[in-house]
């Protein structure tokens, strides 16, 4: 797959999207029993090679890739689009972490690689940006910034979360026109339950789900209720997996 799959081009924002409001995509890979990770949040590789490559194409068409701080701690991900041919010179995605209390581990791979590959700065790796509460002690903010991350302070909601409804405004203030929210379970759930932006318009534009033909059994996910209805826009078979693109109704 040396080119972006056509069904992504047809249904997701392009890198040069000129939408007036940031496009918000929620995406995850799940098992047939609706789990996204194993017991205790243990990372499970659900996607096969084709759908994993598709995930990297998706990363490349969004300005930012967002995860919750637990996913950062549990998975220690790279959040790059490094499965794509480097000859394409695609701009690297901007990693964004929702981390209200600034628990960000300074040993994390996304920070380490940013710090240890200065020759690649601005080319294949971007500085991690952490969105945290404006009540985090200044000393802690300075400590994390001194390690090389950018910290963005925002007002938290009553649950102590980054309010999903305000994410588009935060993205706009950072000059980001689209975001791919990869997880984990809690972040996906709060976004699926918070359907409106601050201005009252729809919050989530696209939902892209990879369904892998396996059971996890005990694990993370699958227990949620009260979720929105989805309209399936496209279903694609990718190797062993099925990938669905849906719209929130
Ligand atoms: N299969 C897949 O596609 C994927 C699977 N995963 C899996 O997900 C698991 C982690 O999920 P989970 O434990 O739920 O953690 P998350 O990654 O969803 O992080 C949750 C934390 O993010 C912070 N947060 C900030 N704003 C919000 C908000 N609006 N809504 C919710 N949380 C917010 C909170 O931090 P605080 O507690 O500090 O306040 C919260 O505890 C891992 O096991 C990982 O492997 C992750 C991504 C994709
Ligand atoms: N698409 C997809 N399929 C899976 O099977 C997964 N486990 C995930 N997880 C997400 O990808 C992150 C890891 O990314 P890198 O390989 O380090 O680039 C992980 O943190 C989840 O967000 N996704």
What 3-state class would DSSP assign to 133?
strand
> What is the radius of gyration, based on Cα positions, of the chain?
17
Segment among 30-44, 51-65, 105-119 with least mean pLDDT:
105-119
Which one of the ligands is nearest to 46 CA?
Answer: 2
The listed range with the strongest mean pLDDT (153-162, 188-197, 224-233) is 153-162
Q: Tell me the CA–centroid distance for residue 229 and ligand 1, in Å.
A: 22
pLDDT per position as a tens digit, 80-128:
998 998 888 888 899 999 999 999 999 999 999 888 865 554 556 899 9
pLDDT for 15: 47
Any residues with CB less than 8 A from the CB of 20 and at least 6 apart, and which? none
pTM: predicted TM-score of the whole model, two decimal places:
0.95
Only one residue has tokens 């950062």, namely 72
Rounded distance between C-alpha atoms, residue 32 and residue 198, angstroms: 35
Q: Tell me the CA–centroid distance for residue 139 and ligand 2, in Å.
A: 32
**By C-alpha distance, which of 150, 124, 154 is closest to 136?**
154
Tokens of 234: 């496209």
Residue 51 has pLDDT above 50, yes or no: yes
Select from 77, 93, 113, 220 the residue to mutate for testing ligand 2; criterion: most ligand atoms less than 8 Å from CB: 77
Determine the topology of domain 20-38+65-248 in CATH.
Answer: Dihydrofolate Reductase, subunit A (3.40.430)
DSSP string, 187-210: HHHHHHH--B-TTSSBS--EEEEE
Q: Quick one: which atom of ligand 2 is closest to the CA of 77?
A: 17
Other C-beta atoms lying within 10 Å of the C-beta of residue 86: 10
197 against 16, higher pLDDT: 197
Any bridge partners for residue 25, and if so which? Answer: 180, 206
What 3-state class would DSSP assign to 41?
helix
Is 67 a pocket residue for ligand 2 (Cβ < 6 Å)? yes
Exposure of 237 in the CB half-sphere (CA atoms within 13 A): 3
Which one of the ligands is nearest to 162 CA?
Answer: 1
Nearest protein Cα to ligand 2, atom 7? 45
Interface TM-score (ipTM) > 0.90: yes
DSSP state of 175: T
Nearest protein Cα to ligand 1, atom 8? 184
pLDDT for 123: 56
Quote the percentage of the chain above a pLDDT of 90.
Answer: 73
Nearest protein Cα to ligand 1, atom 43? 41
Exposure of 147 in the CB half-sphere (CA atoms within 13 A): 20
Rounded distance between C-alpha atoms, residue 166 and residue 234, angstroms: 29
Rounded distance between C-alpha atoms, residue 167 and residue 173, angstroms: 10
Exposure of 16 in the CB half-sphere (CA atoms within 13 A): 0
b/e code 122-140 from CB counts within 10 Å (16+ = b): eebbbebbbbbbeebeeee
Q: Tell me the CA–centroid distance for residue 77 and ligand 2, in Å.
A: 7
pLDDT for 19: 63
User: Which residue stretches of the chain are H helix?
Assistant: 6-11, 49-61, 69-75, 109-116, 138-146, 167-173, 185-193
Other C-beta atoms lying within 10 Å of the C-beta of residue 118: 9
Q: Tell me the CA–centroid distance for residue 135 and ligand 2, in Å.
A: 30
Is 182 a pocket residue for ligand 2 (Cβ < 6 Å)? yes
Rounded distance between C-alpha atoms, residue 237 and residue 211, angstroms: 10
Q: Quick one: which atom of ligand 2 is closest to the CA of 67?
A: 22
Which one of the ligands is nearest to 113 CA?
Answer: 2
């Amino acid at each position: 797959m040396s080119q972006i799959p056509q069904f992504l081009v047809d249904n997701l924002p392009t890198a040069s999207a000129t939408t007036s409001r940031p496009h918000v995509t929620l995406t995850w890979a799940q098992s047939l029993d609706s789990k996204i990770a194993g017991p205790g949040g243990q990372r499970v590789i659900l996607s096969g090679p084709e759908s994993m490559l598709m995930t990297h194409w998706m990363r490349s068409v969004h300005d930012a890739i967002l995860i919750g701080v637990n996913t950062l701690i549990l998975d220690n991900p790279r959040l790059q689009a490094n499965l794509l041919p480097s000859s394409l010179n695609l701009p690297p995605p901007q990693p964004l972490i929702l981390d209200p209390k600034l628990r960000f581990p300074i040993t994390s791979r996304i920070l380490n690689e940013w710090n240890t590959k200065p020759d690649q700065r601005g080319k294949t790796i971007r500085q991690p940006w952490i969105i945290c509460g404006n009540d985090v002690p200044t000393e802690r903010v300075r400590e994390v910034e001194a390690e090389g991350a950018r910290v963005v302070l925002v007002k938290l909601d009553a649950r102590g979360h980054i309010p999903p409804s305000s994410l588009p405004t935060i993205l706009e203030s950072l000059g980001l026109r689209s975001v791919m929210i990869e997880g984990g379970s809690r972040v996906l759930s709060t976004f699926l339950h918070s359907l409106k932006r601050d201005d009252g318009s729809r919050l989530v534009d696209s939902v892209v789900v990879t369904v892998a033909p396996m059971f996890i059994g005990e694990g993370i996910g699958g227990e949620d209720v009260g979720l929105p209805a989805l309209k399936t826009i496209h279903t694609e078979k990718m190797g062993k997996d099925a990938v669905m693109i849906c719209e929130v109704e």
